[in-house]
Amino acid sequence: MNRSTLTRFAWISIAASLLTIGLKAFAYWITGSVGLLSDAVERIVNLIGGVMALAMLTVAARPADEDHAYGHGKAEYFSSGLEGGLILVAAISIAVAAIPRLIHPQPLHEISLGLGVLAIASVLNLAVALLLLGQGRKHNSITLEANAHHLLTDVWTSAGVLVGVGLVALTGWNWLDPVIGLLIAANIVRTGVGIVQRSVLGLMDTALSMDDVAAARRVMDRYTTDGVQFHALRTRQAGARKFVSMHVLVPGHWTVHRGHELLERLEAEIRDALPETTVFTHLESLDDPASWEDQTLERGRKQEGRGRKPEDGGQKAEG
């Protein structure tokens, strides 16, 4: 699938946000519920996040160019990071609105109508959230996943509001409305922190998941029976694109052609095991002492005692 087509899901999110903002604002206007106000505020935040998602998905879909040789995939982390931050802003806004109402409770109005409007908006949000979440996971898009989680947060928020306002109607305890608002804010904080954390890890070139690394190692292990060894295995992810690099050590008597054929097979098998992966390999000789000096990220100056093979004949696939 062309990743530029993912922008249509961002448009769906924006349209859903505009519709539900109107519904929830109307519900707040007729009831005066702080819980409903918190719900409407969060949707405004989600609208901003949807617009940012659209912009960053557009950037991320651009092909690699001279200034961005590794592509533009990391643009998605800016969108998800902003969305996570906006979720935290929404939580603070909800708390600011709820605390005064907790101190001075106020009666609610037209509760049945307000809850009916909220229920319609919640069903719409749930449908869009599940669509975005499925597509985000299918196409490994953290932007769509973050937007989906924000929508799901809104669904849970709405569920909490429905319960809170319903309890107010049944019991007459007006203080329940702001309490529900504060509980919703706490739940939103948890979601926002998780999204921000994942975005930061992506921007910091965090290694691939343990499952992905294990998949690459399984491919590499198939070649060790031929006297081939590996070290300096490094991985990272940029949006949907994964990167794997390693040094491949072969017997010194191999020809360049034979070594090249090995690398071609190895890279192809890793790409099959890990779709949307770019693989970099560096061919080295098992018989050259210099092959054992470049296992770290920054190759330092030669020191006495270095430049020799490990006594056990080398190391396999060091991460």
- Which of 298, 288, 198, 278 is CA-nearest to residue 250? 288
- Which of 42, 280, 33, 6 is CA-nearest to residue 131? 6
In this structure, what token pair is assigned to residue 163? 């319960």
**Beta bridge mates, 243:** 236, 278
Name the percent of the chain in helix, strand, coil, to the closest 5. Answer: 65, 10, 25
pLDDT at site 303: 46
Query: What span, in angstroms and rounded, lies between the C-alpha atoms of 7 and 128?
Result: 14
Query: What span, in angstroms and rounded, lies between the C-alpha atoms of 138 and 223?
Result: 31
CATH topology classification for 210-292: Alpha-Beta Plaits (3.30.70)
Domain boundaries, the chain: 3-203, 210-292
Q: What is the mean pLDDT of residues 275-280?
A: 90
The label of the residue with tokens 């203080």 reads 175
**pTM, entire model:** 0.61
308 band by pLDDT with thresholds 50, 70 and 90: very low
Check pLDDT > 80 for residue 279.
yes
Check pLDDT > 50 for residue 313.
no
pLDDT at site 44: 74
Name which residue leads in pLDDT, 10 or 165. 10
Question: Looking at this protein, which amino acid is placed at residue 190?
Answer: R
Query: What span, in angstroms and rounded, lies between the C-alpha atoms of 261 and 38?
Result: 61
Architecture of 3-203 per CATH? Answer: Up-down Bundle (1.20)
Each residue's pLDDT tens digit, 155-179: 877 777 777 777 777 777 777 777 8
Asked whether the beta carbons of 276 and 248 are under 8 A apart, the reply is no
Each residue's pLDDT tens digit, 214-257: 999 999 999 887 789 999 899 988 777 889 999 999 998 999 99
Check pLDDT > 50 for residue 312.
no
The label of the residue with tokens 């859903």 reads 16
In this structure, what token pair is assigned to residue 71? 């592509």
* Alpha-carbon dihedral 59, 64, 67, 70, rounded to 10 degrees: 100
